[in-house]
Structure 1
Amino acid sequence: MKSLYIIKAGSTFATEVARLGDFEEWVRRGLGDAPCPVAVVNAEAGEALPAPERCAGAIVTGSHAMVTDNLPWSVAIERLIRELVAARAPFLGICYGHQLLGRAAGGEVGYHPRGREAGTVSVELTLEGGRDPLFDGIPARFAAHATHAQSVLRLPPGAVHLAFNGFEPNHSFRVGESAWGVQFHPEYTREIMAAYLQDGSAGSGASRKGSGVLGETPFAGRVLTNFASFVCRRF
């Protein structure tokens, strides 16, 4: 039987796991009552990735690693993403996963020239984003939690640009009909974002910039429930 796979590309701070849970748990909660089976693969820990034909869909989480480090487990996820896109299997990349999709499909990933974006930020949909099923029920401008030092600096050829803000031009895009990337974190709660703002050390490289504001994000989480609905309609 096929499953919707959450591919774990990292973990949150060790000091916060007991209190907040970890990346895969945040995503699983965000999916809601998905009517299809959900499975987790810890790619960072070396667990075998699923074969594309076993995937009703796949989500790649964020990570404290950097895509440009080209870690073996990360390169393996990138290969799987290419296979999923070729098979037209539903895919959602969150932050690190968004960047992996960007590079896997032929775009460019690297450090953002203005440093780190961190906090509750405003994200704006393009005209295409407003029509895209991933953003169904989400207003044209909405609040989302974000923390990242690297970005998709150049979108893949043929990608559909879906969302942006004044700091990050490529907050979301789509490749083909069913592979999406979001640079922001639809799985974050206010409490999770607060932990990242307080620590400020996720990832490495550029110094933190961006708003540093902490607020509520009543609509951003719909990205996950919309994706789950999309997957399960095809299940």
Structure 2
Amino acid sequence: MSRADTMDRMRRLELLAVQLKQDSHCTVQDLAEAHGVSRRTIARDLALMRAQGMQIDADRGRGGGLRLDRTWGVGRVNLAYGEAVDLLISIAVAERMDSPMFLASLGSVRRQLVASFSPEKRAKVERLKARILIGVTASTYVQAKASAPPKRVVQALHQAFIDQELLDITYQREDGVRSNRLIAPHYLLLKYPIWYVVAFDHLREGPRTFRCDRIRAAERTGTSFTLLPKKAFEPTLLNDDLSI
């Protein structure tokens, strides 16, 4: 087994332990589909987990489920780099919103996460944090008309933002008119609880701000872009009416 295969299996075992701890009814087939492996692979993983002392209970009979004994702890949390970055940025957003509640331990969590990165990755995370902007709270009018964006849109926008990649989107204005845009997502702006993407719009050939919940479809292009300075977007950011 190669080093990559070994690392993949170790990561899968960690995720299996978490999943079995959380889900009240989970079958081998469910686990195989969730992790993109065969039932035999999952069976071998479960056998190894039991050999390591994990108490995995199984219901007998057709459709029987699996679960990790509720008294068993899953141990330390091992995050993939992307997960750690997301958590660190979320902590930074919470701190910058200056909420007095539940912030007592965030500094300690942030320091531990940062310490787990190499200097190169720390610098990359700092650049990402600088591209997330916090504005004033959205008006009640805007909040009343907001909805959660589709999961696929969030995933595509999230990755394009991190990788500095052009994004094809379908955008719907407040009046219902839709248009297809090619955008470079330079910054993300939170006017709580509404997220906006501050982008260079290649259709309009200039900076534009789009409400994330009005993006109906998004597809990554694989084409990278060069980050522009924040001052290039200042006219757009100074516009209080961001409900386009």
Shorter-chain-normalised TM-score: which range?
under 0.3
- Give the number of the structure whose residues are more often helix, by fraction: 2
What's the TM-score once normalised by structure 1's chain length? 0.24
- RCO higher in 1 or 2 (8 Å CA, sep ≥ 6)? 1
Structure with higher strand content: 1
TM-score computed with the length of structure 2 as normaliser? 0.24
